[in-house]
Amino acid sequence: MDNINVIRIGFSSPEFRIPEIDGEIDNPIDRSGGKFTCLVFINTDDQGLAVIKDLDTGLPKTSTGFQVITSVIIPVKVKQAKAFRDRADIGIRLFCDSDLRAGKLFSVVDSAKSRLSYHPIAFIIGEDGSVRYRLAIGPEGLDTQLLRDTISKLA
């Protein structure tokens, strides 16, 4: 049976605020209107690094012209996140979830691993906070083309 707590398409994304890499507490989901959010939960391993580099090239607008901003959540403290950002050399908004609070809200915490980690996943969240698309990131990495194609079709 599927986990009933898993955030699915059509669900409203939970409200939460966590530290950005600069230490400021903010909501990674832009609910200001006129934008969608690509919310990505990744780890700071090589796969996470590859995903973030793919996303740093930007995402297309939706079919109705909404811009898509990217917010990446990683399960580490601010100091570790800064080291990851420097290693990745990226400009995407990074958020720190060292207590896994955000990961638990979205049911993406990988409890089988000995260290803090996620089941890597990307959500596209509409301006109203509803989950419009959900894409698991497998061992082969992010299917960037599928993500881009889907975003360009979202209304």
CA distances from 15 to 32, 66, 155 (A): 13, 21, 23
Pairwise CA distance, residues 101 & 92, whole Å: 21
Q: Over range 7-20, report the average pLDDT.
A: 88
Domain 18-153 annotated CATH 2.60.40.10: no
Nearest in space to 74 (alpha carbons), one of 90, 58, 52? 52
| pTM, rounded to two decimals | 0.91
Q: Which residues contact 110 (CB under 8 A, 6 or more apart)?
A: 117, 118, 119
Strand partners, 130: 12
pLDDT tens profile 50-97: 998 888 888 999 998 999 999 999 999 988 988 888 888 888 899 999
Q: Domain limits of the chain?
A: 18-153
Question: Has residue 2 got a pLDDT over 50?
Answer: no
End-to-end Cα distance, the chain = 31
- Residue whose structure tokens are 């009933």: 4
Rg value, the chain, Cα = 14
Residue 38 has a pLDDT of: 96
Output 155 or 65, whichever has higher pLDDT.
65
pLDDT-derived band at 11, boundaries 50, 70, 90:
confident
Can you read off the two tokens belonging to residue 80? 């570790």
Residue 119 has a pLDDT of: 92
